[in-house]
Chain A
Amino acid sequence: DAGITQSPRHKVTETGTPVTLRCHQTENHRYMYWYRQDPGHGLRLIHYSYGVKDTDKGEVSDGYSVSRSKTEDFLLTLESATSSQTSVYFCAISAQESGTEAFFGQGTRLTVV
């Protein structure tokens, strides 16, 4: 398995609180992605990074921010969690933009109550 770890694996938080999810890789891959997965929607891209301090928005970025201060770490922050952000969040890494396979973490199940 590719060296990619997400933490925490499960979290329950209250509406309005900030939440940070962490993705850590040991593969030295340039590209890192945060997705959310909801029934009937497949995977939707939240934000991605193409290098240290280089990030961009994806399809569903509202209410989320990211940071990448080191190659190996990509943080996803929900600034003020809402119930609509209850989801399973996946981090992925790849060596190239979209021309090679992506490797996924095990996911973080986030529940906002």
Chain B
Amino acid sequence: SQQGEEDPQALSIQEGENATMNCSYKTSINNLQWYRQNSGRGLVHLILIRSNEREKHSGRLRVTLDTSKKSSSLLITASRAADTASYFCATGSNYQLIWGAGTKLIIKP
């Protein structure tokens, strides 16, 4: 069953703009992770936020977590063409990660 659900399913913006993706989940979690997948490639870990954290930064990435609303957002600032990819959230609880269907981000030059 799908735990995380990303919104929007697809997003197209101009290079230099900020991109925001959201993830909602259903059950309690230990952590929430964001991954990027370039076309035809494996997934690459971007950032992990624990359930007792509210915000985390890594370079141009900012992740927030609201456990009361069971939601998270990923903000990519000053987008670049190389950010074109699919982005997935995964919630960690017990022994596994449960994945959403992803947001496809396209950065237009």
Contact = CB atoms under 8 A, between A and B. Distances in A.
B2 A107 contact: no
B78 interface: no
B101 A102 contact: no
B12 interface: no
A100 interface: yes
Contact of A97 (B88, B90, B95): B95
B96 A42 contact: no
B107 to A, nearest CB: 21
Contacts, number: 63
Interface size class of B (residues with CB under 8 A): 20 to 34
A74 interface: no
A100 B48 contact: yes
Contact of B88 (A43, A59, A99, A106): A43
Contact of B102 (A42, A48, A59): A42
Given A42-B88, A42-B102, A59-B1, A98 B42 contact: no
Contact of A98 (B41, B45, B95): B95
A92 B88 CA distance: 15
Interface of A: 33, 35, 40-45, 48, 50, 56, 58-59, 90, 92, 97-107
Interface of B: 1-2, 4, 30-31, 33, 40-45, 48, 88, 90, 92-102
17 contacts: A41-B2, A42-B2, A42-B4, A42-B99, A42-B102, A43-B90, A45-B97, A45-B98, A59-B1, A98-B31, A100-B48, A101-B48, A102-B45, A102-B90, A104-B44, A105-B42, A107-B41
